[in-house]
Amino acid sequence: MDIRVRYVIKLFNEGLSDKFSEETVSKHVNLSPARLRQLFKKDTGLSPIRYLKRLRMNSAAKLLQSSFLSIKEIASQAGFGDSSHFVRDFRTHYGLTPTEFRTRSQRFKKHAT
């Protein structure tokens, strides 16, 4: 994997709730946004922004399973500025609303023990 792609992934992981754009991220690694997208897609199969969104969704899912934070708090911690936008994106990604996901996860944990 290209060292610049690894660096961007590290940036994303360390600042999930930070605001990122392809322009600002590409400046961190001294590439044009188009070149960064090209390298990133070659190494990860996703554009930088799609990769970041996937990281945020995974983070939100873990928080839903392991915390009692509100949906609004989870949306904020996972880097989504707007909780209604988060709910819509979460449903698209997982096929469930965050509340449904949390309920099913808790039911599954009870049956697993």
pLDDT in 10s for each residue of the chain, 113 residues: 999 999 999 999 998 888 899 999 999 999 999 999 999 999 999 999 999 999 999 999 999 999 999 999 999 999 998 889 999 999 999 999 999 999 988 776 665 55
Contact 37, 48 (CB under 8 A): yes
Between CA 68 and CA 56 the distance in angstroms is 18
Between CA 11 and CA 5 the distance in angstroms is 10
Residue in this structure with the two tokens 């880097």, named with its chain if needed: 79
| The CATH fold of domain 3-112 | Arc Repressor Mutant, subunit A (1.10.10)
The pLDDT value recorded for residue 18 is: 87
- Residue 55 is which amino acid? L
The pLDDT value recorded for residue 108 is: 66
